[in-house]
Structure 1
Amino acid sequence: MSRIRMRVHLHNDSDAALELVDQGMSSGQFTPGGHPPPRIEPGQRPRISSEGKLLATAPATGAQGHVTYRITGTGPVGEVHVGWNSPLVESDYGNTFTVTAPEGWEVSHWGGQGHEGRLEVRLRRSAVRLVPGFHPRGRGLPFDNGGWRAGLPSMTLGHVWNQLLDSLPDPLGDVLGIVPVDDDWLPLTHAEDGMCGGMVFTVMDLFHHHLVPDPSTRQPVSADDPLYAHLRQRLWDSFDVGGRGHRWLAYSSPHYPNGDDGVLQDVLGLARGRSWVSYREAWPDMQADIDAGRPSPVGLIRTASLEIQHNHTVLAYGYRRSGQTVTLHVYDPSAHLPDRGNPEVQLHFDVTSTGGEVHVRRTVDGVREDGRHRIWAFLRIDGYEPVRPPLGRRITSLVDAVRATTAGRPGPDSVREAMAATGGGASTTAWVRSL
């Protein structure tokens, strides 16, 4: 076993200086030259290094430590805390971290796993961060996930169930009470049962190919329609069968634990709770997608009784984090309104603790809308590969460009806003072409 080491790279990507107020190692020690600096100026990215202590030639301890810095300057103030625990013998949770900041500040972290861990921590002022060039008003499909013509064939649910179960790691299926069903169980679901995953992947296809849907596009009414065939195939793809799509089943089980304390963790050591997989795994992956300029497909687990037909898919295209509170901006295929188009839908949650249940609040155009489905967990859907869609057109007008990038109405102010938000060039023509 190699010596336990943890390096913390603290990126101060803010305009405020940080002053050290506390530091310590509960296990292990800071390395020579790796002690926390007393002050971190804006733009600096110091490295803090720690390691486990040695007994003879074998590692005797892990590396567990913390630093706390006070934010100075104007605006919201408070303290940034970074704690890390790289144990001698890793648990099912691996190396774990506690990274917090006060309201008005965004702190995020990534990496840090393994015996030679490198944890990256970034501090910024809170702000709405959006995928450049994406807004559901112009990028989302111009029809709703409801109102499908009755009888349009979708897929065989029993077959999907068994495919997902086959990819579930042993012995989780038995532990979670998930058993095979006949392939013809609920033999043929229909479009009226929901096509959300197919709609989300189709919107991603359009965005990838620099296309927008024509506002006059109508909801398909025939299984022979090329658009419906595409939506149907993309619905299947959104289940990520053969990848990690088994999470759709696992997180929907009544036996899956909500928080960190459950029989699966304490006795079997098999599963991380719904709060952990949502707040510590899904959310950072979604944030990384958005920071990289790509929308992120999100699965919402809306059942704890294996009624997987109630689960739902949305597309995250922006976020704002303030302290431990996250506001996620999403395109929801089921939120399209005939008189207003695709509204601004937001999901709100607090990532402070993974010890209890997941709590998600939903708003539509700023108005709270609880809905009839509770969100038990959420996941970042893997396996997306772009496919050329059978619809869409290039952006050729300022109207299209503004609709695709902002919630504003076309006009001089909204054009300037959209160009600024997407890093447009010197001319409106160049900006439109860039989209």
Structure 2
Amino acid sequence: MSRIRMYVFIHNEADAALRLTGQEVTWGEFTEGWEPPALIHPGADGQFQGEGDLFLAPTTGTEGNVRYQIDTPDGGELYIHWNSPLVESQYGNTFHIWCPPGWDVAHWGGQGHEAKLHIRLRRTAARRVANFNPQGRGLKFLNKWNEQLPVIHLGFILKNLYGNNTCLGTLTSLLAQVTIDLSTFGFGRVLASTVDDDWGPSLTNASMGLCGGMVYTVMDCYYHHQLPPENASSPDTPDDPLFRYIHQRLIDSFDIEGDGCRFLSYSADFYPNGDEGLAQGIGVFKGRSWVSYRDAWEQIRADIDAGRLCPLALVQTNALSGFGQNHQVLVYGYQRSGQDITLFVYDPNKGQQETTLMFNITHTTGEVNVMRNPPDKRIWAFFRIDGYTPKQPPFGRKITSLRDAVRASSTTPVSGSIAIRPLLNQIAPPISLVSWMRSL
């Protein structure tokens, strides 16, 4: 068996050189000839490599840290710590990579025993998905619905969740609160194959909100170069085509075939808050702080950097009895300054108003602490919604006016008159106004 190795690639996209000020190996050693470079110039890449000890077979993993000074008056220290253990835990290889305020550092990769970790440093800036502004792309109406509208029926529970062993235990606790006992459905697996989602009594209604369906609907319109409908108020009848579409997209957003049951598990009062907690020794749980600050944040960043919108689940309760308080929003941008993160989100509860979520990722040992602007409910954890697949909305609107185009694509709120010439001067490469509007 070969040594355990960690290859580290530093991509310096900043306007300042990186000057090595310290290096330390706790386990293993630096590979000969691949020690940390003394200087990494602006726009250049640097590489070093750590490896574990070997005596016939690997005897240690590799762990250490390096420190670089960002060589500019407003710089500071870039700190890189890696740990690729001999025996991996549920965390796999772990990293702590910090930079000072005013700078943005990201990392990706780095898992496995022949790991390649990439680190990128650049100046702090707001980074957004192109041509998305909630002022023009968001639904005009708020996430407030007629409580008479049914949402989840017993048929949906049986058809989609009954045979999912991952969800079954938590699901049973949830249904106990609406006096539904799964044990009474001994024929459930047979029944589940024959019923429709809307079979049987309604277990929840729209008063709990359809935020996930609204988020998916906004995403669908964006990915098909359309605007959402102009409805100023939410539909109030179950046969309304817009309600039926949003309702179906809500069901899709639950990601039943994937990791959707995290809505339930992270809402449980026994779930650990920090990165260590119940059953930690046998690797059952990553705490809420770890899944939020380490896992979810890196997925959000990767989505935005790749030009993808990111649907985000907000756990807003610490008890299964409050499961209906959970929420979904849509991240369309972020800004990182040191360890402080700001997410720019479309929140169905706020309509077309820009809202932000702010948190610090230095530590994962305590509870999740997210500041919301405007203020709202406490967030216990957050995670990326997986499984989104674009669908063609039947009611999407083409962009036909300059005002709609600017409202949909501007990085700032739009009010009053619009100056056309400065707008056209910013388009690169130069194209006609009609072609630009069609591209949105």
Question: TM-score, normalised to structure 2's length?
Answer: 0.88
User: Which letter does structure 1 place at the counterpart of 2:350?
Assistant: A
Verify the 8 A CA contact 2:150 2:202 in the aligned structure 1.
no
Shift of 1:187: 3.6
Q: Which runs of 5+ in 1 are unaligned?
A: 337-341
> What's 1:239 paired with?
254
1:112 and 1:414, CA in 2 relative to 1: closer, same or farther beyond 3 A? farther
> What's 2:367 paired with?
357
1:186 and 1:36, CA in 2 relative to 1: closer, same or farther beyond 3 A? farther
Superposed counterparts of 1:36-435, under 5 Å? 36-55=36-55, 57-74=56-73, 76-146=74-144, 148-156=145-153, 159-160=156-157, 163=160, 167=164, 169=166, 173=169, 182=181, 187-216=202-231, 218-266=233-281, 268-306=282-320, 307-336=322-351, 342-364=352-374, 369=375, 371=376, 373-406=377-410, 407-409=413-415, 411-413=417-419, 416=422, 420=426, 425-435=430-440
Shift of 1:418: 9.0
Verify the 8 A CA contact 2:137 2:218 in the aligned structure 1.
yes
Verify the 8 A CA contact 1:164 1:245 in the aligned structure 2.
no
Moved more, 24-33 or 237-246: 24-33
For residue 111 of structure 2, give the secondary structure of its aligned residue in structure 1.
Answer: coil
1:140 and 1:161, CA in 2 relative to 1: closer, same or farther beyond 3 A? farther
Shift of 1:275: 0.2
Shift of 1:179: 8.3
Number of matched pairs = 417
For 2:437 and 2:44, the matched residues in 1 are separated by 36
1:7 and 1:254, CA in 2 relative to 1: closer, same or farther beyond 3 A? same
User: Which letter does structure 2 place at the counterpart of 1:93?
Assistant: Y
Shift of 1:429: 2.9
For residue 281 of structure 1, give the secondary structure of its aligned residue in structure 2.
Answer: helix
For 1:355 and 1:162, the matched residues in 2 are separated by 39
Q: Which runs of 5+ in 2 are unaligned?
A: 183-198
For 2:234 and 2:58, the matched residues in 1 are separated by 63
Verify the 8 A CA contact 1:154 1:191 in the aligned structure 2.
yes
User: Which letter does structure 1 place at the counterpart of 2:247?
Assistant: R
Shift of 1:390: 2.0
Shift of 1:178: 7.3
1:265 and 1:159, CA in 2 relative to 1: closer, same or farther beyond 3 A? farther
1:179 and 1:221, CA in 2 relative to 1: closer, same or farther beyond 3 A? closer
For 1:286 and 1:414, the matched residues in 2 are separated by 34
Shift of 1:192: 1.9
Verify the 8 A CA contact 2:278 2:285 in the aligned structure 1.
no
For 2:424 and 2:329, the matched residues in 1 are separated by 23
> What's 2:3 paired with?
3
For residue 45 of structure 2, give the secondary structure of its aligned residue in structure 1.
Answer: coil
For residue 189 of structure 1, give the secondary structure of its aligned residue in structure 2.
Answer: strand
RMSD: 2.5
Question: TM-score, normalised to structure 1's length?
Answer: 0.89
Verify the 8 A CA contact 2:276 2:286 in the aligned structure 1.
no
For 1:401 and 1:244, the matched residues in 2 are separated by 36
For 2:305 and 2:432, the matched residues in 1 are separated by 25
